[in-house]
């Protein structure tokens, strides 16, 4: 067969690439997800995000009871890009939120949960028994609220109990969101995997602060907050690469993604899906469609038929 004929036949039968991806048992039509903490409190907004190209939305982290969070100021724009926030995990509580989404039949919703003891998570999961939930994401990494988040993630025994209890409370997949605390984050990952976790989200925001030189005082009311956006992308990318190199576990990459190139980097490092949040502040919800289109064009150029074709390629020698 001559080269010209081969090229014509290849073009004729060429399969269009698909953005569908899987995170263990979780099936998504598109790989881009809304990260927890950004626009994660309204079913109407969830529907808009889904129509705009989000494969799934992650709720704000929910607690057993409503939390007011910290007083203003709670967010600060970092020079050169990124944000530092200490909202304080304000939320309406798991029971109230479950009522808010019980009519959902369309949007893949990942419910983010935060608590101090295993019983907190067991209670909250039960509140969503009559809701269409795609997965639960355990917030083991919030860097600015005491007795939850990183303080939980830094305690391997507590992580084991929380993951085990959560898994025993539902057949819905459970994801652990890890961050950089006082102990090595890979210890948290290892404990979560040994306890039966279905997937890992890496990473959460990074503990940080800002000071006003005129008032000579910390800018955020809580003094410390979590750094997100472009400044943490290299850190998050390194963590995804390390986790995927050491463990056989589905990974959701999170941290500083704002372009299709960023997303592809995370796929190549070992992630099967991507979460973004801070990028919405610059590009609003159109960013999901823009990144999806960029990924598709890249896949066509590289002759990839699925997201899976890219996952972990950067680890190959």
Q: Determine how many CB atoms are found less than 10 A away from the CB of residue 282.
A: 11
Annotated binding-site residue? 7: no
Q: For 21, phi and psi rounded to 5 degrees?
A: -145, 165
Rounded to a whole number of angstroms, the CA Rg of the chain reads: 20
Residue 91 is classified by DSSP as B
- Among the listed residues 131, 142, 239, 254, the single catalytic one is 142
Annotated binding-site residue? 205: yes
Could you confirm whether 142 is annotated as catalytic? Answer: yes
Annotated binding-site residue? 203: yes
Rounded-to-integer distance, Cα 198 and Cα 131, Å: 20
Annotated binding-site residue? 270: no
Element spanning 311, H or E: none
Annotated binding-site residue? 277: yes
Rounded-to-integer distance, Cα 281 and Cα 309, Å: 31
Annotated binding-site residue? 256: yes
156-169 helix and 185-194 helix, angle to the nearest 10 degrees: 40
Angle at 95 between CA 105 and CA 32, to 5 degrees: 45
* List of residues 6+ apart from 71 with CB closer than 8 A: 221
Annotated binding-site residue? 177: yes
Q: CB of 247 within 8 A of CB of 189?
A: yes
Annotated binding-site residue? 87: yes
Annotated binding-site residue? 278: yes
Which residues pair with residue 207 across a beta bridge?
226
* List of residues 6+ apart from 214 with CB closer than 8 A: none
Annotated binding-site residue? 245: no
Report the residue count for the chain: 317
**Residue 137: which of 90, 92, 192 has the closest Cα?**
192
Binding-site residues for FMN, please?
36, 60-61, 139, 177, 203, 229, 255-256, 277-278
* Residues of the binding site: 36, 60-61, 85-89, 139, 177, 203-205, 229, 255-256, 277-278
> Which residues contribute to the annotated binding site for substrate?
60, 85-89, 139, 204-205
**Residues assigned a catalytic role:** 142
């Amino acid at each position: 067969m001559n080269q010209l004929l081969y090229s014509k036949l290849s073009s004729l039968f060429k399969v269009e690439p698909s953005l569908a991806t899987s995170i263990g048992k979780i099936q998504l039509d598109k790989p881009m997800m809304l990260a927890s903490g950004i626009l994660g409190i309204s079913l109407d907004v969830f529907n808009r995000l889904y129509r705009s190209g989000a494969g799934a939305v992650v709720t704000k982290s929910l607690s057993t009871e409503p939390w007011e969070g910290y007083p203003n100021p709670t967010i600060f724009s970092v020079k050169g890009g990124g944000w530092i926030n200490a909202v304080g995990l304000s939320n309406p509580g798991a029971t109230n939120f479950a009522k808010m989404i019980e009519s959902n039949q369309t949007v893949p919703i990942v419910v983010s949960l935060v608590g101090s003891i295993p019983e907190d998570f067991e209670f909250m999961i039960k509140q969503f028994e009559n809701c269409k939930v795609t997965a639960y994401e355990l917030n083991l990494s919030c860097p600015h609220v005491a007795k939850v988040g990183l303080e939980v993630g830094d305690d391997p025994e507590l992580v084991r109990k929380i993951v085990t209890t959560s898994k025993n409370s539902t057949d819905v997949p459970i994801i652990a969101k890890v961050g950089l605390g006082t102990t090595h984050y890979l210890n948290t990952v290892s404990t979560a995997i040994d306890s039966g976790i279905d997937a890992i989200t890496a990473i959460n925001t990074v503990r940080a602060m800002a000071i006003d030189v005129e008032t000579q005082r910390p800018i955020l009311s809580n003094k410390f907050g979590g750094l997100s956006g472009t400044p943490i992308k290299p850190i998050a990318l390194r963590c995804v690469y390390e986790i995927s190199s050491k463990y056989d576990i589905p990974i959701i990459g999170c941290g500083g993604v704002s372009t299709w190139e960023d997303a592809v980097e995370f796929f190549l490092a070992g992630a099967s899906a991507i979460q973004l949040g801070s990028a919405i502040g610059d590009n609003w919800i159109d960013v999901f469609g823009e990144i999806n289109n960029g990924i598709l064009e890249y896949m066509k150029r590289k002759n990839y038929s699925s997201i899976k074709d890219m996952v972990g390629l950067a680890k190959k020698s």
